Structure 1
């Protein structure tokens, strides 16, 4: 229910204009969240989305008021900040410039905007934001506490890849998954209570017998030596005047991965620990704090084994009923141990928490042995199980999840990491419910093995867990296969949206960086990834090595070797992602904070280059060559590495311009020129207009990145198209190259070819995966069983669904979708397309349909923006009932490259194209 309310608050308007014709505000944000908790910035930034039925609505001025109470705000008294009327059309990242904010306080704010004719919107309805802990010293009274401390001689830091069987006694012990509790009294009328919690690896907070919040695997995982995240909860309704009890269960997460069952690595940083601060503001203006300190007590929980990679065991006979409530007697519990903590500075988690987002009931179940039942949920997804069971005390249930089955119809974990399982020991109640707390897996099937002979009843659900980022886009079309492909890719993305962008939800669960920029555009059309990607930038900054290398994964819990640690197509996310965030959302601050990292990284690449050519890395990973997929087979590694090196330098020259780093502009522009010259000299055959091997990736990367000389661009593009047609229109590019192939073809106005390449199931690709039973995007184009069957790295086609078929793009040089480009590809074989994207400035919608010899195109452009609309050439084009030549709100720029170019202000448009 809380999730439903959040989505409604995000997308429904918070104000209806008091008079007809006035705009209303659909969304008021602070740091790009509606009514956020835990803002820990001294100068947070405000934003608003304007909705107006008026064509061409432009904001000419704005005013923000911030008050310490709702009453003061309604009286027009912005006692914390009143910006007064400020000229300009800015509506996002408006920086707070008022009186100093205080920690753990709720503030109220509103906005008003004006048009240039002086008419105003009226004040928005109030919104709010709540601060976190603003000063590090405010954490001093809250200690890190633990049940046990890992001796330094048993630490494994950094992690060791795979089994770690050579480590002796290190990583052998099972960590105790502890319970922590503290009774406390609140003796006055309560105004507000805010809870700030960091439990490492992950925790579940409890208050007066109830779970706090709906988070899963909180907080987000980081490099704990440099940064620890805490979560903020408003618990005003959970505390009461009088006696209370607060508690927590803390799991291992990535802090401690022992040598049992499956593990991608062995890592032993510390045993579970907790840091917590409850701040209660009383109605009389006084404050009371409850902190983790020596007064807390602890005891082992019923979780007897827990591993992010291996699964979880729960012995319900060891439950301590009411341990998190006031009436519980904790005389047998021991005192906690105060520990130093991992060393990282405390920051409020800004990204959306992981939550249970969807529940799948069993689609089919089959008895495969006398005590074994195989369940099929019909969807491969990241998540956990929910068990409902009746039986005798001591009966044991083992549950083995799997994404695919072997040839005998049994769970196959070879590619997803095994053994991984859950085990539950019954306490013998009439009906028992259980969900794992500190682990998850990617699966569709679950094999249940029953140890009790008289198990009365058992039922399972698959609970899909992921980052709870709101949905930002929709796509549908007349082609059922494309709708299936969209869902296939979406499940690959959803299953890998965690507190990092993971490669897979089972085998590795690591933040591999290449996919963040290669399918970032696909993701941004679908989900609000602003906060996740800001965290990725922080992870990269903290993970950068002293020599400048940004490793392929961050946080780097385990260092890999060779191209699996140092591949330019991966590490270059350090430059590409901050630039994309700036382009997509208009956040200049991310460029400023990441700029030193970018410079260090490109300097590192320079030390690896030989005459401006890079030759290391993984290349076009998992392309379709004659061998099993892996390192690039069809395209030279040096080509993808050096093309990426050029792209880095070119982007840095633009970033330097944006940040007014004049000397750097000159240096990076020259570096880009030098790399381009070296690239073309090494890889380009000017007689044949072919790059390197003539693979799809060999053509596409230089085309998209601007490496191809303008005099040769058309010939190279034609050769690319012809080579695809000559190869049965089959795709061969891999993880790195396929995104650039689609971009190059779309820019060459070859969306018809993209359509034909992907509207099939007879060769490896999306349709082929679906034909062979995939319900989430697989790691290999051929949906091979011996690799992951839930990966998001090949999901590039989703971007084309929005930017190609839907035509929603940005104009050259645009920042934050202020200057929108609408250029739908109205391809043969497709009757209609419907897309929408909730940009930072409002919703953009495109719907086109062919009927009765005409093509109708409906377009919505949000208020305070403008658009260029590019339509195919038809003999007549009407908007509404008027020919575009007679429509004063549309500027007809005539035909350019065989298409009609129109310029429009914001508003809703309906075009009719007649041959």
Structure 2
């Protein structure tokens, strides 16, 4: 440790904050047998390191001392690890709250303070739902279920464990049990069914009580014939519920209410609900007080015990969907008598809240769409039978002011067309998506960069509803190719640890006996032969596993998926022909190619993505100690691709199908490391030359768009990449935004069928890594590279990201030839900082004594620095 300036300490004292269990703060109802614990280590000064930790787990916060911890004391463990640390005490008890804390030691073996305690609570674990049964019944509309029960004493704790398929709006004594919507999450119900734990302690009361549920169809009971055959899924059935309410009293007694034949059922006011067509609600059929004590349910029927879904029940661990914003229209226009169009000024996913005063029987229609044509909202979906698309209907009760919003469907829209009213309508947009946290903030003096960042963030969130989808308006499907190209940006922008963990489980559940994976996940069975095989799509499996390890250092995930992963890759490799992988999709939707695949030979990208997939699998195998020969398979694929498509004399990749030079065909092999070393400069130069010849326009579809700008920048053509990024004419992102876009679109053309599609918006990843200059290059942010390459056309940029180790930030500003660079490095991370400069002598580092001796590479002075806040000034940038 070098000498320290007065007043500075060598990274101590070291303390822990942001304690999480299984990536969550205070998770309620975890079914993980050995939950993983994590924290953020913090200390003043520079160069702080964690050398040891001690974890205590106790049954109450008062017992969290080394002398009295009654569940688990890890003892002092020599380790720098701050995440993924498994609970290693006695087997956990179901339905139990555990409290925990941690103490850290720094590089001088000094003890930090015990962290502020946190807790986690187990779910049902192996105890299950006991005598509870799945119940339902034949009713003509969305079923209402209720059960009256008595509470006879002071309640210490009450928990409701429940799963309603497809969705359940759960009530207790007239109130919602949570603010979650469209719950529980969508899965392959033949393999996994999610239940949710609700803390209802404050809702139960002494005396008479009622627990109730209204059930929606979701993807479990979807009925409209559609291209993806959700109406014919093997699990398709009428809605049903399983519930277990456990009430614990202060005197030690426990009573339970479980779903069985004693519950009552009737048809409710929701006449129909469908994820594609919308909902119809007849307020005249509403039953005020049905979910509260004192309601007479004698006219209701006894609930029937119904077949359980085949899937295994497990506690829902990913973030629920919530209403996160309410938006008023920016414009409301009467386009014809009795027909109004509301423009909410933003493209979103969610639904409309209606407030109305109208005579009984008045039908108010609400049609949702992303565009308007000839004054009318466009709501057309060729994939779903019938004329009704994204249309809700409310039938008024006629009893004064009435307020309603749907509960079992969501729509992709900016505009809503309202019909059936003579008076000016009162409508609000309700924005709803998986409630994942934003972890990154970005700013720049170049306004389009900020615009792209905000649009991509909004587009991703609009496509998170328990799974990562492709479009909330059209499909709502979990296309694997979309997540393949968008995954890194999603991980860089949002906390996707729990959401992607869940979806990776969906991928595994969707696997066929042969090992094959479908192109959408979950799947009804569609996507194994339909638009398949498409190698570039399901190879998301190893890629996303590796990206999760890179973002969160998650080794358990790698181990849990290894067997399924190897089965899948065996299926892919078995169909390789002459070193090539056949694919039917390819670089989907390049400019000018409408609704079809790219014009080039799809075996090129298919083979390239399989090459990257097997390399990812080789790395995963190394990380978890599983010997494999995937690198040999990768070399054979690279040889096959180069043999078939590389023109060595011209220094470019092409196929017999190409109508012209294809940027994706060249950017992807460069990005994946397939190009022979001696040809890399020529292939990169030809790519840059083509970009320039097109007036700095791209001709890439969804696969190439995310690789083009990083490849150009990495090979010294950052100026060309910048011109493409800031292009305003077709095809470009600027073209969209000049047309009024606020989200990313599916197609480059103005007639894009979806205007809420993230797979063409991966320019944001380039902005983060090359304009802001922050790149994560090792497991769990253990090592980062700071290198602002693409500085053309902007004078400043700032990014901060809350990682699993703590906050990383990079801020730079250039005035004339002087560049100021600020870098914040959390404990456990090492940063390689590349400062633009003409020579090392032109750069000043503060505090210089903590930085490595700089080297000089290609116009950058390079420092390696540990934890701390660093300042660099370059006088020759």
TM-score (norm 2): 0.95
Render the CA deviation track for 1:534-576: whole Å, top value 9, x for unaligned: 1121111111111111000011025147562321001111221
Q: Secondary structure at the match of 2:760?
A: coil
User: Shift of residue 147 of structure 1?
Assistant: 2.1
Residue 648 of structure 2 is aligned to residue 686 of structure 1? yes
Residue 500 of structure 2 is aligned to residue 515 of structure 1? no
Classify 1:876/1:707 alpha carbon distance in 2 versus 1 (closer, same or farther; 3 Å): closer
Q: Secondary structure at the match of 2:180?
A: coil
**Structure 2: how far apart are the matches of 1:624 and 1:315?**
46
Equivalent in the alignment of 1:803: 769
Classify 1:500/1:92 alpha carbon distance in 2 versus 1 (closer, same or farther; 3 Å): same
Moved more, 427-436 or 197-206: 427-436
1:649 to 611, 614, 622: 614
Contact map agreement 2:189 2:311 (CA 8 A) in 1:
yes
1:430 to 400, 413, 416: 400
Residue pairs, 1:585-600, within 5 angstroms: 585-600=552-567
Equivalent in the alignment of 1:8: none
Equivalent in the alignment of 2:4: none
User: Shift of residue 262 of structure 1?
Assistant: 11
Q: Secondary structure at the match of 1:266?
A: helix
Q: Secondary structure at the match of 1:892?
A: coil
Contact map agreement 2:807 2:826 (CA 8 A) in 1:
yes
Equivalent in the alignment of 2:704: 737
User: Shift of residue 616 of structure 1?
Assistant: 2.4
Contact map agreement 1:623 1:629 (CA 8 A) in 2:
no
**Structure 2: how far apart are the matches of 1:824 and 1:885?**
19
Contact map agreement 2:100 2:119 (CA 8 A) in 1:
yes
Residue pairs, 1:812-851, within 5 angstroms: 814-825=778-789, 827-851=791-815
Residue pairs, 1:684-833, within 5 angstroms: 684-693=646-655, 694-785=661-752, 787-811=753-777, 814-825=778-789, 827-833=791-797
Classify 1:412/1:798 alpha carbon distance in 2 versus 1 (closer, same or farther; 3 Å): same
Equivalent in the alignment of 1:65: 56
Render the CA deviation track for 1:85-117: whole Å, top value 9, x for unaligned: 100100001000011111111111111101121
Q: Secondary structure at the match of 2:690?
A: helix
1:141 to 131, 151, 155: 131
User: Shift of residue 826 of structure 1?
Assistant: 5.0
User: Shift of residue 67 of structure 1?
Assistant: 0.6
**Structure 2: how far apart are the matches of 1:714 and 1:824?**
22
Render the CA deviation track for 1:629-657: whole Å, top value 9, x for unaligned: 42112x32010001112112222221221
Contact map agreement 1:147 1:176 (CA 8 A) in 2:
no
**Structure 2: how far apart are the matches of 1:556 and 1:402?**
25
User: Shift of residue 888 of structure 1?
Assistant: 0.9
Contact map agreement 1:264 1:507 (CA 8 A) in 2:
no
Q: Secondary structure at the match of 2:638?
A: helix
User: Shift of residue 415 of structure 1?
Assistant: 7.0
Residue 818 of structure 2 is aligned to residue 854 of structure 1? yes
Render the CA deviation track for 1:33-86: whole Å, top value 9, x for unaligned: 111111101100000012222211110100111111122125852211110110
Contact map agreement 2:11 2:46 (CA 8 A) in 1:
no
Q: Secondary structure at the match of 2:211?
A: strand
Equivalent in the alignment of 2:26: 35
Residue pairs, 1:144-159, within 5 angstroms: 144-148=134-138
Render the CA deviation track for 1:340-377: whole Å, top value 9, x for unaligned: 21111001111100011111101001111211111110
1:535 to 502, 506, 509: 502
Render the CA deviation track for 1:663-695: whole Å, top value 9, x for unaligned: x1xx21211111111111111111111111541
**Structure 1: how far apart are the matches of 2:342 and 2:129?**
47
Residue 662 of structure 2 is aligned to residue 671 of structure 1? no
Contact map agreement 1:563 1:618 (CA 8 A) in 2:
no
**Structure 1: how far apart are the matches of 2:145 and 2:354?**
25
Contact map agreement 1:842 1:862 (CA 8 A) in 2:
yes
Residue 142 of structure 2 is aligned to residue 177 of structure 1? yes
Residue pairs, 1:477-492, within 5 angstroms: 477-492=444-459
Residue 87 of structure 2 is aligned to residue 96 of structure 1? yes
Q: Secondary structure at the match of 2:514?
A: coil
1:446 to 396, 400, 416: 416
**Structure 1: how far apart are the matches of 2:528 and 2:336?**
44
Q: Secondary structure at the match of 2:696?
A: coil
Residue 843 of structure 2 is aligned to residue 888 of structure 1? no
Q: Secondary structure at the match of 1:60?
A: strand
Contact map agreement 2:141 2:269 (CA 8 A) in 1:
no
Q: Secondary structure at the match of 1:568?
A: coil
- How many residues align? The count is 857
Moved more, 461-470 or 230-239: 230-239
Contact map agreement 1:503 1:511 (CA 8 A) in 2:
yes
Equivalent in the alignment of 1:419: 388
Equivalent in the alignment of 1:211: 176
Q: Secondary structure at the match of 2:215?
A: strand
1:327 to 294, 298, 322: 294
Moved more, 522-531 or 388-397: 388-397
Render the CA deviation track for 1:783-813: whole Å, top value 9, x for unaligned: 324x1121111121111121111221123xx
Classify 1:58/1:310 alpha carbon distance in 2 versus 1 (closer, same or farther; 3 Å): same
Contact map agreement 1:106 1:128 (CA 8 A) in 2:
yes
**Structure 2: how far apart are the matches of 1:769 and 1:690?**
30
User: Shift of residue 491 of structure 1?
Assistant: 2.1
2:858 to 886, 897, 901: 897
Equivalent in the alignment of 1:160: none
Contact map agreement 1:25 1:49 (CA 8 A) in 2:
yes
Equivalent in the alignment of 1:13: none
Contact map agreement 2:377 2:416 (CA 8 A) in 1:
no
Residue pairs, 1:72-83, within 5 angstroms: 72-73=63-64, 77-83=68-74
Equivalent in the alignment of 2:831: 867
User: Shift of residue 261 of structure 1?
Assistant: 10
Classify 1:279/1:747 alpha carbon distance in 2 versus 1 (closer, same or farther; 3 Å): farther
Q: Secondary structure at the match of 1:849?
A: strand
Equivalent in the alignment of 2:7: none
Equivalent in the alignment of 2:6: none
Contact map agreement 2:145 2:264 (CA 8 A) in 1:
yes
Q: Secondary structure at the match of 2:780?
A: coil
2:159 to 194, 208, 226: 194
Instruction: Give the aligned CA root-mean-square deviation in angstroms.
Output: 2.1
Contact map agreement 2:368 2:377 (CA 8 A) in 1:
no
Classify 1:91/1:143 alpha carbon distance in 2 versus 1 (closer, same or farther; 3 Å): same
User: Shift of residue 828 of structure 1?
Assistant: 2.0
Equivalent in the alignment of 1:225: 190
**Structure 2: how far apart are the matches of 1:538 and 1:260?**
27
Task: List gaps (5 residues or longer) in structure 2.
Answer: 1-9, 656-660
Residue 430 of structure 2 is aligned to residue 463 of structure 1? yes
**Structure 2: how far apart are the matches of 1:47 and 1:615?**
43
Contact map agreement 1:876 1:914 (CA 8 A) in 2:
no
1:243 to 185, 208, 216: 208
Equivalent in the alignment of 1:497: 464
